[in-house]
Structure 1
């Protein structure tokens, strides 16, 4: 009697264990991830062999793409070919912050040169066409957990023969090939560090901006230590300070009698503030002999003051309010005085 009961109990325990195991597996088993654009795992690259034309798009293009997405495609050309990437005119990702794509973006990397060719976001303009330097090119799409946009992006790819894809040498050399003097003058004319980066690397300037202010392991400079800054110097502010104290209109006090050449009268106040050009022109081209700060736009303004003047016949002072015109400099420029390029023979 006892033996059948033990066998029955063992059978029930086995069935219960099987059900529990099945329940455990179904609870923690990850569902099959639907493949999107060939990418099944955000941590892995999807390698696409390019033998003709095709496209890579953000999920759900041309509709709103999902949040928290990381997709990577590596395009590999067949034979001795190059890959050309062209963006669809429908392009829109989350807007940049401070002009830099920090959150949602698509970027292109050339594995041959181990360099990021560009990073884009927002919807202001469609990125330019790119051609790989070698037989591979990499596309990466990132979206964070906030503010997905539409329509996303669509990149069409095609093959080009090497001879067609090689660009012609431009008439004007790129910044990287310019001489130090030409490059110095070009950079000096730019207004912000962002403009400098755009000039040097039009397609990847946002990445360069991030790298410029990224903390590094090297020993911090004296400007960092003494000013106790949390990041690098604000280069735009430094340049603005120079601009404010270089050749610009600034306050000067002038004597009204001397300014108006009126030795027969007394004014009160005797001096007034006017805007006059001042400051040096240290940033002028070194090729010039001299550089002077001169007014580029002058206006005449009237100021009401007290005029004291002797009456004829020595009958005391005439006192009256009068308007006096004074010149004010609204704009200033550095005027160059250069050596003559001509010379006389002996």
Structure 2
């Protein structure tokens, strides 16, 4: 009787030891969720009550930050205070692609208005200082699984009284408050689409560029190229070709989109485009008439993709979109008597 009891007790002790060892091993292999200036889950935030100065930074700053990281901070102050953010001069994340921060970046958001104040990456320039519009401001850092960089970023925060942080009324109105004529003149003088977006949205232009090029339901416009064959041969042929080029033929003209489309309510960039229009004289006109004039013999309409800006309404900012405009092109030209054309 004693022997079976001893065997049963030994079996129970062995089973308990195995379970305890298994439990111990599983605890050792559980992924350690180490909170570093934030949380790993993008659905959560680390809330920081701001009562003085402090900082948030990428993990291991100023050294290479880890891959696959999502950190979110929400800074909260009392209602009569504003939060000022200042970036450390040492700043470097993965470079953008086509001027847009797609992979590793840090961004600042206004939780009250749910607007993105800016997104930054690369290492060309240190972001400017930011002051919260209300008593809260959010910072979000994301890195993907490729090419981590250094030194990362460090953002220092401090408090300002609400009355001190209120921005002064600028001498020049922001683009969203400018009239159509003034805005059209300002945008027309800019050289690239990137400059246009920086002018319209200096703090969030990269985000706006990314949104602008997201696929939409409409078919993107087509570009048209006119290839002219070079001709060779005898000198007489070359002379005739030169005369033809300056006679009644389709040639490049620049047209103002607002005037051409009669859209004074909108601003286009580029503000002018090249079209083919009939031009030149009719000195070699074969018709026996006193006055020959050059008119189009074949007309086509072609789509051109441009940036369209429109006012949403007072205080609602600008609507920005890529749109197709239909412009008339003259493919063939002919000389006719002026009386016949009338």
**TM-score calculated relative to the size of structure 2:** 0.65
Q: Deviations over 1:86-105 (max 9, x none)?
A: 10111000000111111110
SS of equivalent to 1:280: strand
Answer yes or no: is 1:37 the counterpart of 2:37.
yes
1:11 matched to 2:9: yes
* Runs of 4+ with >4 A deviation: 40-43, 250-253, 272-278
Provide the rounded CA distance (Å) in 2 between the counterparts of 1:251 and 1:181: 41
Taking the aligned partners of 2:7 and 2:160, their CA distance within structure 1 comes to 74
Contact 2:55 2:155 in 1 (8 A): yes
Among 20, 26, 29, the residue aligned to 1:28: 26
Matching residue of 2:333: none
- Please state how far the C-alpha of 1:131 moved relative to its aligned partner: 0.4
Instruction: Tell me how far 1:284 sits from its aligned partner.
Output: 7.3
SS in 1 for 2:8: helix
What is the distance in 1 between the residues matched to 2:185 and 2:208? 21
Tell me the SS of whatever aligns to 1:271. helix
What is residue 147 of structure 1 aligned with on the other side?
A: 147
Does residue 50 in structure 1 map to residue 23 in structure 2? no
Does the 8 A contact of 1:42 with 1:69 survive in 2? no
Indicate yes or no: 2:252 matched with 1:279. Answer: yes
Distance 1:40 1:282 in 2: 54
- Structure 2 unaligned runs (5+)? 260-271, 275-342
- Change in CA separation of 1:42 and 1:6 when aligned onto 2, cut-off 3 Å: farther
Question: CA, structure 1 residues 101+271, in 2 after alignment: closer, same or farther (shift >3 Å)?
Answer: same
Residue 19 of structure 1, CA deviation: 2.3
Deviation by residue 1:99-158 (Cα, 9 ceiling, x = unmatched): 111111000001111101000000000001000000000000111111111111010100
> Which structure carries more relative contact order (alpha carbon 8 Å, separation 6+)?
2
- State the SS of the aligned residue for 2:254: coil
Could you tell me how far 1:42 is from its partner in structure 2? 5.4
TM-score, normalising length: structure 1? 0.64
Query: Rg bigger for which structure?
Result: 1
1:103 and 1:64 mapped to 2: Cα distance? 15
Q: 1:108-119 maps to which residues of 2 (within 5 A)?
A: 108-119=108-119
